[in-house]
Structure 1
Amino acid sequence: MALLLLLVMLTSCAAAPQNLSGKMFIFPQETDTANVRLNTSMQSFTAVTACFRPQQEPQPFLSLSTPSFHNGFLVFKEAGNNVIDIYVRNNRVTFTGQDYMLNTWQSICTTWDSESELVQLWLNGKPSIKKFIGGSVITDPIVIVGQEQDSHGGGFDINQSFVGMMSDVHMWNYVLSPCEIQRFVEDLNFTPGNVIKWRALEFEATGRVLVENKITCE
C-alpha cells in the first residue's frame, strides 16, 4: 500500500520545492514513459555546469531540450563501453576512455561556456581535455532525467531510457571552478545549483519512478 501511494504521489506534480538530500530517484525498468521533469524558472543562459550522481548502466544521464534543439544540452553514455557523449545545441563531442564503473555511485560534472565554446567532462573528479563544441544561448529549456528527448519535452524511445538510480542533480548557469567540482565529488560544502537544486527540487515524475533513501554506511 505504501509503495502504491508513493507511485501515485510521484505521478502528480510536486506543488512546492522538495529537499531530496539523502534520497534518490529509481528507474527500475526500460520504458518509453518513466521520467522526471526538473522545473526551473531560469529560461535563458549562456553557460552550463551540470553535476549528478548515477548508479548502474545508463544511456541518457540528463536531457535538456529547447524549442529549436532537442539536444540542447545532453549527457549520454553509450551502453557497454567507456564513451560519454556531450551534446550542445545538437552538436556532439565524444569523450573516450572514461573509467565508468557499474554497481557503484559515480560523480559526473559537465561544463560548457558559449564565450569559449568549449565543453569539458569530469568523471569522479578527473577532468577530461576541453573540446570545441560551439553554441550560444540556451532558451526555454525542458530538463528531464530518465529519458532522452527527441522533441521538446517528449519523443521518448524505450531503447534510450535510463535504468538505475540518480541522485544529487544540480545545474548552474555558469562554469563551476575545479575546486567547486571537487567539493561536489567529495560531497562537501559546495555551492548548490542556481538553475536546478537537489535540496530544493521542483519536479514532475511520470510513470514508474520511485524515491527512496540512499543507503550509506559510516
Structure 2
Amino acid sequence: MEKHELGTVLGIWAHPDDEAYLSGGLMALATDAGARVACVTATRGELGTPDPALWPPDRLAATRATELASCLEILGVREHHWLGHRDGGCAAADPAPAVERLCELLDQVRPDTVLTFGPDGITGHPDHRAVSAWATAAFAKAAPPGARLLYSAVPEAWERRWSALHERFSVYLPGYPVTVPEAALAVDLTLDGALAERKVRALLAQRTQTGGIVEAVGIKTYTEWVSGEAFVEPAAR
C-alpha cells in the first residue's frame, strides 16, 4: 500500500486506544506523507478498568484524555474531536445528534478515507457497534464525492495465529470476532521496524489500557500482535 493512497483521513472510534490499535500505523504513514489526519472519539473510556476503586470514572476519563493526546502526538496527528458520550452508553443514545455532528466533521475535514468499525464492532462491544452505525449513516449523508469508507477487519489467518492470546485476555465478546478472508481485504498492512516500534510507543502512551498486557506477554510478542492493520470495503462484510 502506498502512503498516499488514503489521502485525507478521518478516523471515527468509540474509546481512546481504538484508534491506535486499529489504525496507528496507517495514521503514522499518512501524517509522514503530509496528509491531513483527523481523529474522532465518542467517549473518554471512563469505565475501562478492572479496578474502579483505584480508577473512578472522573479520574480515569481525565487520564485517558491525556494519554490519548500523547498517543496522537507520537503518530503525528494534530486534530482530534470528542463526541462527548458516556462510556458504555452509545448504544442507548439517540443516534441523530451523533450523526449530525459527524456530518459536520465530514464537511469540515472533507476526507478521502473514513476509517471506523464494521457493524460487528470488531470485538462486539455495543459502543463500537453504535459508532459504526453513526459513522456509516453520516458517510451516506455527507461524505465528499469519491470518498471511501473502510471498516476495520479481523483477517482469518491473524485470528488463527493469536486466538490463544485473545482468549486469555478476553479480547472479544462471545460470538466474536467476525473474521474476513485475506482476499477480501481492501487494506492489509503489516508494520515492521521503526513503524511498528512507533505504533507500540503510541499504544504505551495509553498506559492505563496497555500496560498490563505488555507486562504479561512481553514487548516482543506485543509488538508482533499489534503489527497488523486490516480494513474492508462495506460491501465485503
**Which structure has more strand as a fraction of its residues?**
1
TM-score (normalizing by structure 2): 0.29
Higher relative contact order (CA 8 A, sep 6+): 1
**Which structure has more helix as a fraction of its residues?**
2
TM-score (normalizing by structure 1): 0.31
